[in-house]
């Protein structure tokens, strides 16, 4: 719902300025503080805006969300893609057999030491520590994605 | 006396050793340490006797301390990067 409100704001603000210059500093400043609060939403607002700008033959792409040198915001999709990518790179896993719900020990035939290595690879990929007590419970890619989403406050 | 069950002790020891081994600045030491740690843990994975397990854990702790000392020494004296890196 917040996304819809935001998109309407962007539409109403962008309409008068479409014919003039592609981006005015005032427009960006007006929208950016609102967008800065809802980081996952900025993708939707951004794509709408670039579509109009494309229609009016303006080539510059505006990033509405001020990130101040931070990483791009995580979404469940990107977390899942990254987790599956790291797992496919692991040589003891057969990439064809890998599903989101495949259990490491029962379906993929790995043992607990392999699971430790997988969790360490996830720690390297996402840049934060996973304590041992919680790490030994993560037994499938889906559980890993859920855990990371919990820790990083990613919600849909 | 037992901080956690021996299985989770083994898991945390393995994790600590792999983490310490991957900090070696020298390519040769790093790959050897990782390979040796993996092989040793796999070979001893079938041991059931609790006293033997405890003894192996002790040895593992000493090896972990050794790896950490050697990592610090290696980081003091910089080495050139080899071609494989």
Max mean pLDDT among A53-57, A79-83, A97-101 falls in A79-83
- Give the pLDDT of residue A54: 44
Q: Give tens-digit pLDDT for B20-64.
A: 999 998 899 999 999 999 999 999 888 888 899 999 999 999 999
The answer to whether A151 touches A128, Cβ cutoff 8 Å, is yes
Of A81, A111, A124, A150, catalytic: A111
**Chain A interface, best mutation among B7, B11, B35, by max A CB count within 10 A:** B11
Closest residue to B18, CB basis, from A112, A120, A136: A120
What token pair was written down for A13? 């603000």
Please report, for residues A13, A47, A87, A122, A156, the alpha-carbon distance to residue A82 in angstroms, rounded to integers and kept in the order given. Answer: 36, 22, 9, 9, 18
d(CA B12, CA A24): 55
Task: Measure in Å the smallest separation between the Cα of A119 and chain B Cα atoms.
Answer: 10
Contact B19 A132 (CB under 8 A): no
Would you say the C-alpha torsion B57, A132, A113, B68 has a positive or negative sign?
Answer: negative
Confidence category of residue A72, pLDDT binned at 50, 70, 90:
confident
Enumerate the domain spans of chain B.
22-77
> DSSP state, B44?
G
Which of B3, B5, B14, B43 is the mutation pick for testing A, counting most A CBs within 10 A?
A: B14
* Cβ–Cβ < 8 Å for A24, A6: no
Distance from CA of B15 to the nearest CA of A (A): 7
Rounded to the nearest angstrom, the minimum Cα separation between B12 and chain A is 7
- Answer yes or no: are the C-beta atoms of B28 and B74 closer than 8 Å: no
Active site residue A111: yes
- Phi first, then psi: give them for residue A24, nearest 5 degrees: -110, 150
Q: What is the per-residue pLDDT for A96?
A: 86
Both ends of chain A: CA-CA distance in Å?
A: 12
Which residue reads 């309409």 in tokens? Answer: A15
| Per-residue pLDDT at A34 | 44
What is the torsion angle, in degrees rounded to the nearest 10, for the CA atoms of residue A119, residue A125, residue A130 and residue A133? Answer: -10
Q: Which ipTM score applies to this complex?
A: 0.82
């Amino acid at each position: 719902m917040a996304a819809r409100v935001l998109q309407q704001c962007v539409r109403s603000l962008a309409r008068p300025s479409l014919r003039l210059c592609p981006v005015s500093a005032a427009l960006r400043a007006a929208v950016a503080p609102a967008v800065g609060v809802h980081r996952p939403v900025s993708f939707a607002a951004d794509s709408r805006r670039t579509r109009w700008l494309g229609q009016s033959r303006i080539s510059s792409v505006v990033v509405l969300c001020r990130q101040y040198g931070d990483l791009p915001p995580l979404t469940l999709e990107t977390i899942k893609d990254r987790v599956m990518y790291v797992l496919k790179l692991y040589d003891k896993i057969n990439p064809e057999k890998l599903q989101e719900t495949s259990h490491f020990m029962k379906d993929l035939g790995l043992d607990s030491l392999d699971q430790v290595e997988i969790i360490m690879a996830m720690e390297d990929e996402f840049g934060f520590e996973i304590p041992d007590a919680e790490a030994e419970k993560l037994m499938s890619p889906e559980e890993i994605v859920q855990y990371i989403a919990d820790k990083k406050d990613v919600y849909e | 006396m037992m901080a956690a069950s021996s299985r989770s002790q083994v898991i945390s020891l393995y994790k600590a050793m792999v983490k310490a081994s991957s900090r070696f600045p020298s390519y040769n030491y790093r790959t050897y340490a990782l390979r040796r740690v993996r092989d040793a843990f796999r070979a001893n994975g079938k041991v059931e006797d609790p006293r033997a397990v405890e003894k192996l854990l002790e040895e593992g702790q000493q090896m972990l301390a050794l790896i950490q000392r050697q990592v610090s020494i290696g980081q003091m004296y910089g080495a050139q990067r080899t071609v494989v890196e």
